[in-house]
Amino acid sequence: MAEVSFTGGSRIGWVNASFPFAKLTCNGQLLQLASLGKYEFTAEHVVGFGTYGSIPLLANGLSIHHNRLDYPEKMVFWCMGSRDEVLRQIAGTGFVPQGHAIERPRGFVFRWSVAVAFVLAWNLLALVDMKSAFDDPRARTPGIGIFLACAFAFAMATAIKRSPRVQRFVLANGHAVGEVRPALTLIQLVTGAMALGGGIAVFFMTR
């Protein structure tokens, strides 16, 4: 069976990826969106397609309305060109949405107590650098505090993605880690790089 694929951007949950960091593929039986992970849909998973925003002459959003509770609700592929042409080629493979809409859990994905505790811990660690700056205006920042804050955020994102026990503790009732997996991956990438850079800087500053 013929397969079609398109390169563009995406918005998955809270996370945007610009061109060319997303790929939409369809072979008639399976629709796959790859961007900060792979998201697969059979015809029974897809309720239909819709439009999402527009950047004239550059990108048009093609939204995938689906019923997978383990994926973020918002799934958008930014087409570099005509989204009508993308839909035409997908239909040409024989892929026809057959899914039924379902009610999704509402409210914030994380328990509010956990979110507040995380923000407090992050700020307390960052205050280490602020105190150093107040004590000595010539002190160079970021320092050990930002390094620790980034390392803490990286460790938390990793634990939430990998540990079912941690997921049960931090996620609100009815929600699944798949809803925030792209955001957790982005946090890992950003804070991991910052923690590595901060650790190297602190090492050379203290020698």
Tell me the domain boundaries of the chain: 4-92, 112-205
Q: What angle do CA 119, 124, 125 make, to 5 degrees?
A: 100
Question: Looking at residue 110, what DSSP letter applies?
Answer: B
pTM above 0.85, yes or no: no
Give the tens place of pLDDT for each residue, 88-115.
999 999 999 999 998 888 889 999 999 9
Give SS3 for 128.
Answer: helix
Assess contact for 77 and 7: CB atoms under 8 A: no
Residue 163 has pLDDT above 90, yes or no: yes
How buried is residue 79: exposed, middle or buried, by Cβ count under 10 Å (0-12/13-18/19+)?
buried
CATH topology of domain 4-92: PH-domain like (2.30.29)
**What does the pLDDT read at residue 81?**
79
**What does the pLDDT read at residue 105?**
87
